[in-house]
Chain A
Amino acid sequence: MNDTNKQTAVHWIRQSVVVTLILLLLCGFVFPVVLSGLSAVMFPSQAKGSLVTADGEAVGAANVGQDFTEPYFMKCRPSACQYNTYYEDEEGSQFYNDGSEFAGLASGNNNYAPSNPALTERVEADIEEFLAANPGVSREDIPADLMTASGSGLDPHVSPESAQIQIPALAEASGLSEEELSQIVADNTTGKLLGVFGEETVNVLGVNLDIAKAMGLVSQTTK
């Protein structure tokens, strides 16, 4: 290699390295920090995760579903990560509501193919459980979304039909009237965007906050 070639090579390496470092700083650091700053000023609540509170304490996030067990609370869809909801025993060990060990923050689905027998088994078990908790409901009337797991395992919504079908059992357990509960569901229902895009959804955590308020379990909520 003669001197001119060497010089050219050095010049090329210099360009590659310097451009890499500048872009690293610009895209990898300045951009996310600037965006955080702007978001914190313009949309402070969303930037911090849209947390919802009851009596001043955060009890969940508006966009994340939760695993509810009390009979007077509406249920979300099945979830492989059980909505990252857990309890602690005296020794500080963490367990999901079903008693298995909490695996840490996660998201996702069982990834069962439509042809996988494990899928049919899981759905069958969930149907049995639901029918036991909601007497008077017949198997054919259960909407599909309530017995299938969402992709994220964090879906905060159920369809309006899935909310409706839970109302009789909720009324029984909570002591609220079916009309009151229907009103609560309606208050927490979001229509399609411009009447066209997306689907109608009911926010389960929103419904349960209103139920808790109506039952007098909490006095103040923000959503």
Chain B
Amino acid sequence: MVQLVLTILIYLIIVIPVGRYLYHIAAGKHTFADPVFDRMDGVIYKIGGINPKKGMNWKQYVLALIGTNAVMIGIGYLILRIQSISFFNPNGIEGMEPTLSFNTIISFMTNTNLQHYSGESGLSYLSQMLVIIFMMFVSAASGYAACVAFIRGLVGRTKDNVGNFFVDLVRITTRILLPFSIVGGLLLVWQGVPQNFNENVAVKTLEGTYQVIAMGPIAALEIIKHLGTNGGGFLGANSSTPLENPTILSNLIELYSMMLLPGACVITFGKMVGDSRKEHLAKLAPDNALPEHRESITAKIYGREGRSIFLAMGILFLVGLSLCCWAESQGNPLLAQIGLDQSMGSMEGKEVRFGIAQSALFTTVTTSFTTGTVNNIHDTLTPLGGMVPLLHMMLNVVFGGKGVGLMNMILYAILAVFICGLMVGRTPEYLGKKIEGREMKLTALCIIIHPFLILVFSALAVATQAGQAGITNPGFHGLSQVLYEYASSAANNGSGFEGLADNTYFWNMTTGLAMFFGRYLSIVIQLAIVGSLMKKNYVSESAGTLQTNTVSFAVILVFVVYIFAALTFFPALALGPIAEHLTIWG
């Protein structure tokens, strides 16, 4: 317990400077490292013919994002298909099959990192670098770019300029992801994560048998996997392997690398909204000025609006973590029945060095921050312990990876404002803009896509022979496996109930589609919403305006999220994890 509290406290402290730094990058403000990076970026802009001063409207921004992603998909697919060439391929890995290549490339471009291959036998070092590591950087950068554009739109300094996609992509990669990766990567090597280009080593053991040990550029992939909230491992068993995650310290480094940037996004949001509010107030005549006590809080670290969003996410996170940790520490009653002491908790699928507490924390974090990396095997979690990661992917708003969680949460905030507005009979407003028919329709559409993808594809899988063939655990857990796979795909998480035999034509194609729509439809609609909000004029606050920067709004937000989730997902959860729980404890 103590270690969980401490781990989270340390997070709350270190997220502040990172949030400040991200805010400076996003808002184009001066930072200490500018002299170096300005030159580097300048060269890239020059070669690419990019005019960094030229802004884009939301449609152009989306087009640039999707177009660039399409180019990346094309190049990546080609490399996967020809990876058998003997360049950076000491272990002689073969080329990848087409539907698996399709699934893999969509998976990594959409920042999902669902893996239907096993890294040890499926990828050459060249593919690990030029496809996997490369995509881990740019898919994360694309996500953050979309988030930054979304915030700019919400803040609404201009009527149509949300920034330049290419500039955002480059700045986020060179100023945040690359430098953080070098430092974090070295820390991981220090802890014992291999980083070389040698072929796998076969040693002769003390008993005269042999053991083969994996090698490769593991640390390089490992750090960006977490920093970019990607999650796809170098090895099949991901961060549970002592090669990817050898010590408790490496575990903490990986944990913080995936938590920092999504948290920092919320701070960036708070600060940018705060800035614009100050400007707006300054423009107003003195007799219109708001009461003083409101302005005095703006200096707060998280920004006023950011604070309530952060609080709501924090509450959801802690509820999930407590349930998961409690369920795992209860152990498995079926093993207790055959006489195996369960006071240690449910250790199947967990590493001794992490134990129950750090495993439960990692599980909750990886699905809340939509990373998808695992330090224990989720398929083996107790039913309720496994329901937490499933639920957090279904919600997809608890911090969320690469800025997407923030964008989703803002949609729920709009929904909450709308519901509260209906109760008191006023036109709802958020951040000084009226929420009207067009925004509400788009919000509803965006919120419904996610459960639609999960539930429809799950229904398809359990209704067809091809889908059922993948299920490997009997009983209610089989349904959990299916739900998990699609929740993970649609939320662009990428973790799996690994038992699912998913490298088949059916699973490769359906999860590929779920990942694709889950990612791009959301981004397009979210940017369309801010595009529409930007065009509106500020409305002045009045006594009837719902305050969105308070604790009570955070609580309302939490309830809106839970009510929506209960209405949508409860029947499916009741048939999967809850039924399994009742069976084994019954």
Residue numbers of A with Cβ under 8 A of B are 11-20, 22-24, 26-29, 31-32, 34-36, 38-40, 42-43, 46-51, 54, 57-70, 73, 77, 83-88, 94, 97, 104-117, 119-120, 123-124, 127, 139-145, 147-159, 192-193, 196-199, 201, 208-209, 212, 217-218
B339 to chain A, nearest CB (A): 4
Contact B341 A142 (CB under 8 A): yes
- The residue from B214, B345, B376, B480 contacting A151, defined by CB atoms under 8 A apart: B376
Contact A35 B186 (CB under 8 A): yes
Contact A144 B3 (CB under 8 A): no
**How far, in angstroms, from A145 to B348 measured CA to CA in the complex?**
7
B500 to chain A, nearest CB (A): 8
Residue numbers of B with Cβ under 8 A of A are 2-3, 6-7, 44, 47-50, 63-64, 67-68, 70-72, 75, 118, 120-121, 129-131, 133-134, 136-138, 166, 169-170, 173-174, 177-178, 181-182, 185-186, 189-198, 200-201, 203-215, 217, 219-221, 224, 235-237, 240-243, 246-249, 251-252, 331-332, 334-335, 337-355, 358, 374-377, 379-383, 472-477, 480, 497-499, 580, 583-584
B410 to chain A, nearest CB (A): 28
Q: Which residues of A contact B353 (CB under 8 A)?
A: 155, 157, 198-199, 201
B374 to chain A, nearest CB (A): 7
Q: Which residues of B contact A57 (CB under 8 A)?
A: 203-204
Instruction: Show 26 A/B contacts (Cβ-Cβ < 8 Å), sorted by A.
Output: A12-B64, A27-B137, A31-B182, A32-B195, A42-B186, A57-B203, A59-B203, A60-B213, A64-B242, A68-B206, A84-B212, A87-B208, A94-B210, A105-B214, A107-B236, A109-B237, A112-B499, A113-B480, A114-B334, A114-B380, A115-B580, A127-B339, A143-B344, A153-B237, A192-B3, A198-B355
- Given A22-B44, A85-B205, A155-B242, output 5 extra A-B contacts at Cβ < 8 Å: A27-B138, A31-B178, A39-B219, A46-B193, A61-B201
Given contacts A31-B182, A59-B205, A115-B383, contact A23 B120 (CB under 8 A): no
Contact B67 A12 (CB under 8 A): yes
Q: Which residues of A contact B203 (CB under 8 A)?
A: 51, 57-61
Contact B242 A145 (CB under 8 A): no
A147 to chain B, nearest CB (A): 6
Q: Which residues of B contact A54 (CB under 8 A)?
A: 206
Contact A154 B243 (CB under 8 A): yes
Q: Which residues of A contact B185 (CB under 8 A)?
A: 35, 39
Q: Which residues of B contact A73 (CB under 8 A)?
A: 206-207
B100 to chain A, nearest CB (A): 17
Contact B129 A108 (CB under 8 A): no
B376: nearest residue on chain A (CB-CB)?
A151
Contact A23 B134 (CB under 8 A): yes
Tally the A-B contacts, defined by beta carbons under 8 Å: 390
B42 to chain A, nearest CB (A): 13
**How far, in angstroms, from A85 to B214 measured CA to CA in the complex?**
12
**How far, in angstroms, from A201 to B355 measured CA to CA in the complex?**
10
Q: Which residues of A contact B252 (CB under 8 A)?
A: 193, 197
Contact B192 A149 (CB under 8 A): no
Q: Which residues of B contact A116 (CB under 8 A)?
A: 473-475, 477
Contact A14 B48 (CB under 8 A): yes
- The residue from B6, B49, B237, B383 contacting A18, defined by CB atoms under 8 A apart: B49
Q: Which residues of B contact A68 (CB under 8 A)?
A: 206-207
Q: Which residues of B contact A18 (CB under 8 A)?
A: 47-49
Contact A114 B584 (CB under 8 A): yes
Contact A120 B242 (CB under 8 A): no
Contact A19 B50 (CB under 8 A): yes
Contact A209 B477 (CB under 8 A): no
